[in-house]
């Protein structure tokens, strides 16, 4: 795969948007089984946020194949009016962002970060992060607010992931939001993330070495994400997520070097 020609682009054509929707269904529906039966008819995942003129869809291609996608939703006046506020981001429907968003900060909400399974151990992830960073900078974004998938519908396991993140120093010292009670979460979870042995270790206070789900770990380690609340239940996907903030000016230098190397075809050390 090292000889493959990689590139990213903003999705603008019907074919691009079709690729976006197909990749999302392949990951969330086909692989993870998180979408309802009606989605399987077309094998595409899209929501009303996707059609807004303030939403940017990004695609990564390996050769001629679209292999990864994500969306970056910019504040939308219609969304703000419908939610009865000024934020204009989808997350404002679930949490109060007034203590996070301050004058001089330009926020966007990245989501639907998807890489097809066979491409996850390649440069596809870094290319998608490069696209996310480059396009956001071009549009004047200073901060991202998002919610990372915790790969579980178990309140117990979700809270343990938050505790592991805290033990690694990944909670935000500046921002904090309150999340609603997860009353919609199942009484009997279908998808556990931690093993009984790992939960037993946590009960003894032994958090060192415990796993953290891929998404929050990736964004914290490579993008400088810091978590701003306890787990939030996502009723659409029926799993827990972990709200976070990423400041573009605080992305680790080694990540920025990788983005620069991919975007301009130079050595990260140059």
pLDDT digits 0-9 by tens, 25-62: 999 998 888 887 666 788 999 999 999 999 999 999 99
Q: For all residues of the chain together, what is the average pLDDT?
A: 93
Among the ranges given (26-30, 84-88, 174-178), the one the predictor scored with the smallest mean pLDDT: 84-88
Within-domain flag for 230: yes
The residues, ordered by sequence, that sit 6+ positions from 17 with a Cβ below 8 Å of its Cβ are 11, 50, 57
In the structure, what pLDDT confidence band is assigned to residue 67 with cuts at 50, 70 and 90? very high
CA dihedral 169, 170, 176, 181 (to 10 degrees): -110
pLDDT digits 0-9 by tens, 250-263: 999 999 999 999 98
Within-domain flag for 47: no
Query: What residue numbers bound the domain in which 240 lies?
Result: 147-270
pTM for this predicted structure: 0.93
Within-domain flag for 127: no
pLDDT of 34 reads: 86
Within-domain flag for 231: yes
- Checking if the pLDDT of 101 tops 60, the result is yes
Within-domain flag for 128: no
Within-domain flag for 107: no
- Residue ranges of alpha helices (H) inside 32-150 are 77-83, 124-138
**What are the phi and psi torsion angles at 133 (to 5°)?**
-70, -50
| Across 155-160, average pLDDT | 98
Within-domain flag for 152: yes
Domain count of the chain? Answer: 1
The residues, ordered by sequence, that sit 6+ positions from 266 with a Cβ below 8 Å of its Cβ are 260
């Amino acid at each position: 795969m090292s000889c493959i020609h990689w590139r990213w682009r903003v999705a603008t054509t019907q074919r691009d948007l079709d690729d976006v929707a197909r990749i999302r269904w392949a990951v969330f529906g086909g692989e993870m089984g998180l979408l309802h039966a009606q989605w399987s008819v077309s094998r595409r995942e899209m929501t009303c946020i996707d059609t807004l003129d303030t939403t940017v869809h990004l695609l990564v291609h390996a050769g001629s194949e679209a292999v990864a996608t994500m969306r970056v939703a910019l504040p939308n006046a219609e969304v703000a009016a419908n939610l009865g506020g000024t934020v204009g981001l989808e997350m404002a429907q679930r949490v109060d962002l007034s203590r996070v968003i301050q004058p001089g900060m330009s926020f966007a909400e990245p989501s639907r970060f998807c890489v097809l399974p066979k491409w996850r151990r390649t440069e596809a992830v870094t290319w998608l992060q490069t696209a996310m960073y480059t396009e956001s900078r071009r549009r004047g974004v200073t901060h991202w607010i998002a919610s990372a998938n915790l790969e579980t519908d178990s309140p117990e396991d979700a809270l343990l992931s938050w505790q592991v993140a805290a033990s690694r120093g990944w909670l935000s010292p500046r921002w904090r939001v309150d999340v609603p009670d997860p009353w919609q979460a199942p009484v009997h979870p279908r998808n556990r993330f931690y093993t009984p042995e790992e939960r037993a270790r946590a009960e003894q206070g032994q958090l060192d070495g415990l796993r953290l789900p891929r998404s929050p770990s990736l964004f914290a380690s490579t993008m400088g994400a810091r978590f701003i609340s306890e787990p939030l239940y996502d009723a659409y996907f029926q799993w827990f997520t972990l709200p976070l903030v990423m400041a573009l000016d605080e992305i680790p230098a080694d990540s920025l070097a990788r983005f620069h190397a991919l975007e301009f075809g130079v050595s990260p050390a140059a």
